[in-house]
Amino acid sequence: MAYVRWSSDDFKSDFYIYTSGTHYHLLLAERSLKEGAPPSSENPFDMQTDFEAHCNWSRARFEDIDDPEAGASYRFDTMEEVVAECERLIEKGFCAPDWMMDRLRDVTKQEDT
């Protein structure tokens, strides 16, 4: 079961967190989505230029994350360990959806019961 995916929050998440069996897995993205919208020409009838610009933008819209942990994967026994690691990684600058930590903490509470 996945708790958060890279596609979460319009592909702005650097986290992919899931469980398999008795372990939790955390995968960090190697690349991150750049901000901005696809360019368009000033002439609304110039569809070919718009199409080419959009294709070029689509290919270049991701950039490498400048951190030695980018692309790392981790395995944990408890969700509490996942929460602690996520807090550390977010503090370093990795991007997470606003709701992610609340959801992970809810799972931690369920483990305790």
- pLDDT tens column, 41-61: 676 677 777 777 767 766 667
Residues 76 and 102 in one domain: yes
Q: How many domains does the chain have?
A: 2
Domain with 47, as residue range(s), is 34-62
Q: Whole-angstrom Cα distance, residue 73 to residue 17?
A: 10
Same-domain status, 19 and 72: yes
Are residues 69 and 57 part of one domain?
no
* Residues 25 and 71 both lie in one domain: yes
User: pTM of the full predicted structure?
Assistant: 0.76
The stretches of the chain forming alpha helices (DSSP H) are 8-11, 47-60, 79-92, 100-112
Residues of the chain under the 70 pLDDT cut: 10, 35-41, 43-44, 54, 57-60
- Residue 58 sits in the same domain as residue 69: no
Please name the residue that has the structure tokens 């960090």: 28
